[in-house]
Structure 1
């Protein structure tokens, strides 16, 4: 068996790009779906949230079985879920078909990460956080491409069905690439850590803390991005372009993760990220016009490193957690986003009704509620920095002794 590390990495990036495409295109057509099928914001939130709870369902189950069945079989399943989800969305006839199709896409997205996160971490053990950042830049890349497709085809008067259908091209291609490649075993299997040892490792208090903090980083990044077109549509005519700009910043940031991580520790980077994300969301609530683009840039800089750095921190500092640790982290993030989306969908509708149909006030109220999360994260990550400094000193003292 010959392992082609470069081709596996390229195929993984392409599969992750499809997950970003689904995010970006869905964000671009959300309002159109509401009009086409006469759905209110609570129903749209239910559909959107389905992708976010389908993801953790797939990634957690995938994390439990990936060492047993292998990464290739998981990625075949991801291809099937993506293909069926896209086709069903194109031919959707109402709420329930949209619900099911979005669930299938969510399952596909989670299955991609369930296989590809441990694949990338295992192939690049010498620079896990850097390569996870490089891998995860293809999620915002997919969002950028997806939002550009949605924006351009909307302007051209081309329907949302065609926009969704464009995802079939990269889906079929990544399925073909993975079908002809050989896969290594996971890092946990290669290093000889037992399955029971991996289960025990996720009970480590540091892992539990990072697991909880993943709720906040994921909500800050993904909820805000997915709903930006809805929340700011009456503040600017180009709300979708704000998402494109924000995610473009994320692509650039993750591409330069290596020099950034040479200058600053992952935990310190998380402090800076949370502070910038909080500032960006705050600006969304108070500025208008061209200043919104500055807010999008600042917000993009803030959320840029969240997801891959959280995964890299855990896999580097708690390597025995293996594929399960990586996938529990991803599952925690997406599950939190699904619950938060449902809550905010109802909150948006209630504020809008109490404000006499004022959508601008409803959007600002949701953003202000979301702002609390990155502010809390700043404090939490400062504590993490202090903890890791103390841990480093104890390790150094033990070595000297």
Structure 2
């Protein structure tokens, strides 16, 4: 563990840093667990990839909106109160998400979709409130080494991904070599509840703690002056770049385990690879400081973007597990430093922006991931998979096409029905098991009946359909990664332009409001009502 107290004027700096780490870890756990159950949701509720992308997008869109809005009031309302609200909303999001099966029984697919979407949205709101606090808080605690400590703070994200990924792997269904399920998956509701553990931990760590104001607020900077920094040409350019960071990092993370699992012909291997790359990110974020001292924050961002482009390009054409692991390693090294280092650059160049500057950057990144990244990558999978399948066998496509069109912005396509593809993948074994349980309980389910009737006809073509459907799904995933790889390439060009621009004016340097941050006269404490 890195020693922190010597670099901060605040006696509780270390506790606040690691409490913030746990808050971000909770977001990572929830994000990772959700990725592990997407397939279960597709089978249970019949979602297409675009619909699943919209649900994951809802879990990022709310994140972005709340970071922006809460950053505007963070110094006024108080960091402690915002963290308490985040704690409450984390619990509420769990309740709504877990109500999806009951909503499905009462209102069908639409009912389940609404529960999952809004559950993810509220979860994202809680995450947004927490991030609006912990980013400017860390920058305030360690004003002379922001890049290093913001990277340590955001190591909580991959740590959460690892914990959630491992939990998903241990609780996933186990199959034998013949493809028969020998151990059922742990109920997804239990899996999704695990993110509450780090939530309880960060709540306990923060209770009663005193919080400093941001650098800008301590220096007497007004809210108007903070907002004004957002409209500086350089800051606007950073916002555009960070929108691309959100798209390529978080948007891709929503799908990467599923796509790599298809490439390696094993969902378990895809999740294991996701855990490995997240572990690599976790470790690397602790060494950002020494790297930055050698090549500067912008140099680190440039190299990271190039690696991201190379990694995604290699993944899109990877054949076999070994090449897939190598490609994923390159991609992980590329995306590791992008998000926290961008926050550090904004804070170092615009210290008068306070919580607003960092919050606006993080919010734009999350909005891009939620509105563009997750849904667009899901849509691209639907589009190319359906195009591939229809071109190879129109009748097979008709058997597995979704009832409704998938839409993204002004584009539309007809994707593959996740429930039907799920039935095909195990030759109807899970469908038969559920039917048996319903018969034993004397219950009927309209959606289950429709799926069963469809399978009676489709099963006669299953042997020929299965390789075609699987191949089409893999093609859709590959194409989605290939198109996404161009985003970090554009980012690299932007960073290179910034490097050249700063070099022409004396080089990149951090701007400091004060040499030493002052302790606030009346610091607030979480749970005490002080402000």
Fold match by TM threshold 0.5:
yes
Displacement, 1:254?
0.4
**What residue is the counterpart of 2:293 in the other structure?**
262
Determine whether 1:92 maps to 2:100: yes
TM-superposed CA distance for 1:321, in Å, is 1.4
Choose from 15, 18, 26 the match for 1:10: 18
Question: Does residue 339 of structure 2 align to residue 311 of structure 1?
Answer: no
Gaps of 5+ in 2: 1-9, 102-111, 175-182, 390-468, 510-531
The match for 1:355 among 356, 364, 388 is 388
Deviations 1:331-357 (A, max 9, x none): 111111112222332232122111114
Q: Find the counterpart in structure 1 of residue 59 from structure 2.
A: 51
Q: Contact conserved, 2:25 with 2:157, CA < 8 A, in 1?
A: yes
Aligned-partner Cα distance in 2 for 1:172–1:351: 42
Q: Report the Cα offset of residue 221 of structure 1.
A: 1.2
- CA shift, 1:394, in A, is 11
2:271 aligns with one of 236, 240, 245 = 240
Residue 191 of structure 1 is matched in structure 2 by 219
Alpha-carbon distance, 1:24 to partner: 0.9
* Contact 1:245-1:293 at 8 Å conserved across structures: no
Gap change, CA 1:80 and 1:290, over 3 Å in 2: same
Tell me, what secondary structure is at the counterpart of 1:291? helix
Which residue pairs with 1:211 in the alignment?
239
Kindly provide the CA deviation profile for residues 24-79 of structure 1, in whole angstroms up to 9, marking residues without a partner as x.
Answer: 11111111111111111111011000011010111011111101101111111111
Tell me the alpha carbon deviations over residues 239-277 of structure 1, each in whole angstroms, 9 at most, x when there is no partner. 112211221111111011121112110001111000001
Distance 2:474 2:72 in 1: 44
Counting only pairs closer than 5 Å after superposition, residues 30-109 of structure 1 correspond to structure 2 as 30-93=38-101, 94-109=112-127
Picking from 363, 368, 372, the partner of 2:486 is: 372
What is the alpha-carbon distance in structure 2 between the residues aligned to residue 344 and residue 296 of structure 1?
Answer: 17
Compute the displacement of 1:232 (Å).
2.9
State the alpha-carbon separation in 2 of the partners of residues 99 and 322 from structure 1.
Answer: 32
Q: Secondary structure at the match of 1:265?
A: helix
Q: Return the structure number with greater helix share.
A: 1
Deviations 1:214-257, CA, capped at 9 Å, x for gaps: 01112111111110123233211111122112211111110111
Shift in Å, 1:325: 0.5
**Alignment: residue pair count:** 394
Change (3 A) 1:7 1:97: same
Task: Give the C-alpha shift of residue 3 in structure 1.
Answer: 5.4
Q: Deviations over 1:197-226 (max 9, x none)?
A: 111111110000000000111211111111
Distance 1:283 1:70 in 2: 46
Distance 2:508 2:358 in 1: 26
Matched, 1:322 2:354: yes
For the pair 1:130 / 2:158, whether they are aligned, the reply is no
CA contact (8 A) 1:266 1:313 kept: yes
How large is the RMSD of aligned CA atoms in angstroms?
Answer: 1.5
Q: Which residue of 1 aligns with 2:195?
A: 167
Q: What secondary structure sits across from 2:262 in the alignment?
A: coil
1:148 paired residue number: 166
Displaced runs of 4+ in structure 1, greater than 6 A?
A: none
| Among 248, 252, 257, the residue aligned to 1:220 | 248
Distance 1:179 1:213 in 2: 36
Distance 2:346 2:487 in 1: 21
Q: Check the 8 A contact 1:3/1:182 in 2, yes or no.
A: no
**Structure 1, unaligned stretches of length 5 or more?**
396-401
Structure 1: how far apart are the matches of 2:99 and 2:28? 21
Q: Give the C-alpha shift of residue 383 in structure 1.
A: 0.7
Aligned counterpart for 2:312 among listed residues 267, 274, 281 = 281
- Residue 344, structure 1, aligned to residue 372, structure 2: no
Using the size of structure 1 for normalisation, the TM-score is 0.95
In the alignment, the residues of structure 2 paired with residue 360 and residue 39 of structure 1 have an alpha-carbon distance, to the nearest angstrom, of 18
Residues 108-131 of structure 1 deviation map (CA, whole Å, 9 limit, x = unaligned): 111111011011111111111111
Worse-superposed segment, 169-178 or 32-41:
169-178
